[in-house]
Structure 1
Amino acid sequence: MSEHSRCFLLSLGNRIFVSYMRIQTILLVCCCAWMSCEKDITVDLPQGEPQTVIEGTIVNDEYPEVILTRSFSYFSHISVDQLKDAFVHNAVITVSDGNSTMQLKEFSKDTTNRVKWYYYTADTTQPAAFKGKLNKSYTLRVAVDDQTFNAVTTIPGAGMVIDSTWSTIYSKDPTLARLWARITDPQERGNYVRYRTARNGGVYRPGINSTIDDQIVNGTSFNTQLDAGHDRTQEINFDTYGYFKRGDSVNVEFSNIDKATFDFWRSLDLAYASNGNVFASPIQVRGNISGALGYWGGYGARRLNVKIRK
């Protein structure tokens, strides 16, 4: 390489270096200026007024049960004391079947987390007490704090039925198995189901999606998976979600419900499944009690026990 070429390259390198340093200096000044414009911003999030929350159920051959609470703010840090204070007492709650009306009584029971659980159900010492029956409608009336809430539900007498069940072994983990069911839907359109499962004598829990409708399968027999119930206070392990352990004794609660009850649980399941997903659309949980949160739902329940093969 000639001396002239070396001088030219050296000069060009110096110019590039100087230009680079000027750019770095400009960027540094801009960053400092931008940082000097920062200030702390405090966002005053609205707390919202507490609302009445009603969770009422009536199942065939069982007494109705209503849990009455107040809602929390979305950003609340919930403590044991707050949970205790959430229950609403001294409400006047009645259930009517069109012929008879009974007033529910408030009871309580202890839980393992030091919170006493309050609920309203039939006072069986009274002659007016009655249980739910298939093919009947029931009106709930809740009067509390100068407010009155009403809702109506029906316990379906017919609908989808489980014809048979079986299990399949999970290929990636032979200790796990999937539970399947063959379900038959009537010719009449508009049947809805909610199911829950309990393992080895435990509590009944729903899966992430706990509802079935006949929008696509009307009038047919079809196979579907029955997911193992999930404790919604725990994180989901999607590698093992929905599977049972081989040898499990599984109780399945398979309940025909009306459309309003289906809409409530369907929307609640969707809201739970999308929780934490910033790209998911907001989902409004659809209750059937005007002026209050929650629902009043009737269940035509059938229960069966399934043994997962070893």
Structure 2
Amino acid sequence: MITLNFAAGMQKWLVISCGILVFFASCEKDIDIPLHETQPELVVEGSIENGRPPIVILTHSLSFFDGLDSQQLASSFVHDATVEVTDGQQRTVSLKEYSLDTTNGNKVYFYSIDTTDRQPLLGIRGGSYRLHIRTGGQTYEATTDIPEQGIYLDSLWWQPVVVVKPEDTDRVYLTGRLVDPPHRGDAVRYFTRRNNEPFYAPSISVADDQVTNGSVFDIAFDQGRPKDDPSDDDEPGYFRLGDTVTVKFCAIDRATYDFWRTWEYAYGNNGNPFSAPVKILGNIKGAAGYWGGYAAQYKTIIIPKEE
């Protein structure tokens, strides 16, 4: 769902500057701005994590003015592409296409390693990985690194929210202590999993060490939510008594950080006529999206049902 949301979101941002012009000029006269049709663009969401195989999802971007339904989403996936990953030892592995049934009856298609391979390609800390894609007569490439070290999560704890409203009685903050090594340029991204739910990223999931370099500090972890979550909870960052929470805390390279930093800013300002247009910084020449390496660590905390 992230890739699909990203594909649609990219098209929305092609016309945001036109929306600003219309807002300020509409009191003067009607304005007719011709919008040019653009060819569908390849959208790549690819990642490799320490101890895990690469996963790559390929889709075509969707027009901003097209209706969005399950049939269009299904047809946006790119099939029969040649997808290869080469590691730092110059071992190249061809990825196979798989499908996964979702809870709403749709299928998600992705590329990953051959599950019958006795020596599968798995990510390692300090490893470098080149992605090579051939589809539609075009070639696309990108390289990412899984950091060998970086900011790491030392510990987790929780504390109750001060009760102001009745719904606050079982809400808690989740706080973590981070250790930032004394070398600049570290960046991180995190996800949370509540009970048996999947891992989700919060609305702001990335940060770098421009301010924190070489220090030990505490941060509050917001609860991650799916982007299509219909919940009207006005304070979605809290967890609740009785939750079991796992934090996936990842050191990432600069290209992965830049992609998610600009994507989250654009997504958060979607529809705001006063916000400036943002170019989403991908690292795949000729395509939208990213190929990112994650040095992940996992910590779980059980929050008691009663204080």
Normalised to the residue count of structure 2, the TM-score between the two structures is: 0.84
What's the RMSD between the two structures over aligned residues?
A: 1.8
1:204 corresponds to: 199
How far residue 44 of structure 1 moved from its aligned partner, in angstroms, is 5.3
CA contact (8 A) 1:100 1:128 kept: no
**Cα separation, 1, equivalents of 2:33 and 2:269:** 25
1:67 corresponds to: 57
SS state of the match for residue 256, structure 2? Answer: helix
Once the two structures are superposed, the pairs formed by residues 32-71 of structure 1 within 5 Å of their partners are 45-71=35-61
Once the two structures are superposed, the pairs formed by residues 114-153 of structure 1 within 5 Å of their partners are 114-126=105-117, 129-153=120-144
How far residue 47 of structure 1 moved from its aligned partner, in angstroms, is 3.4
CA contact (8 A) 1:101 1:128 kept: no
**Cα separation, 2, equivalents of 1:169 and 1:182:** 17
How far residue 131 of structure 1 moved from its aligned partner, in angstroms, is 0.7
For structure 1, list consecutive stretches of 5 or more residues without a partner in the other structure.
Answer: 1-38
2:186 corresponds to: 191
> Where do 4+ consecutive residues of structure 1 move more than 4 Å?
39-44, 235-238
How many matched pairs? Answer: 272
**Cα separation, 2, equivalents of 1:199 and 1:220:** 29
Q: Are 2:79 and 1:89 equivalent residues in the alignment?
A: yes
Read off the aligned partner of 2:101 and give its amino acid letter: D
SS state of the match for residue 247, structure 2? Answer: strand
Read off the aligned partner of 2:159 and give its amino acid letter: T
Q: Are 2:73 and 1:78 equivalent residues in the alignment?
A: no
Q: Are 2:220 and 1:251 equivalent residues in the alignment?
A: no
**Cα separation, 2, equivalents of 1:291 and 1:133:** 28
SS state of the match for residue 148, structure 1? Answer: strand
**Cα separation, 2, equivalents of 1:240 and 1:295:** 30
CA contact (8 A) 1:190 1:213 kept: yes
How far residue 237 of structure 1 moved from its aligned partner, in angstroms, is 4.4
**Could you say if the C-alpha distance between residues 116 and 137 of structure 1 is closer, same or farther in structure 2, counting changes exceeding 3 Å?**
same
User: Is 162-171 or 149-158 further displaced after alignment?
Assistant: 162-171
For structure 2, list consecutive stretches of 5 or more residues without a partner in the other structure.
Answer: 1-28
2:151 corresponds to: 160
How far residue 43 of structure 1 moved from its aligned partner, in angstroms, is 6.2
Normalised to the residue count of structure 1, the TM-score between the two structures is: 0.84
**Cα separation, 2, equivalents of 1:138 and 1:292:** 18
Q: From the CA coordinates, give the structure whose radius of gyration is larger.
A: 1
**Cα separation, 2, equivalents of 1:70 and 1:302:** 32
**Cα separation, 2, equivalents of 1:188 and 1:276:** 38
CA contact (8 A) 1:160 1:185 kept: yes
SS state of the match for residue 74, structure 2? Answer: helix
1:181 corresponds to: 176
SS state of the match for residue 149, structure 1? Answer: strand
**Cα separation, 1, equivalents of 2:233 and 2:272:** 15
2:25 corresponds to: none
User: Is 170-179 or 257-266 further displaced after alignment?
Assistant: 170-179
Q: Are 2:96 and 1:105 equivalent residues in the alignment?
A: yes
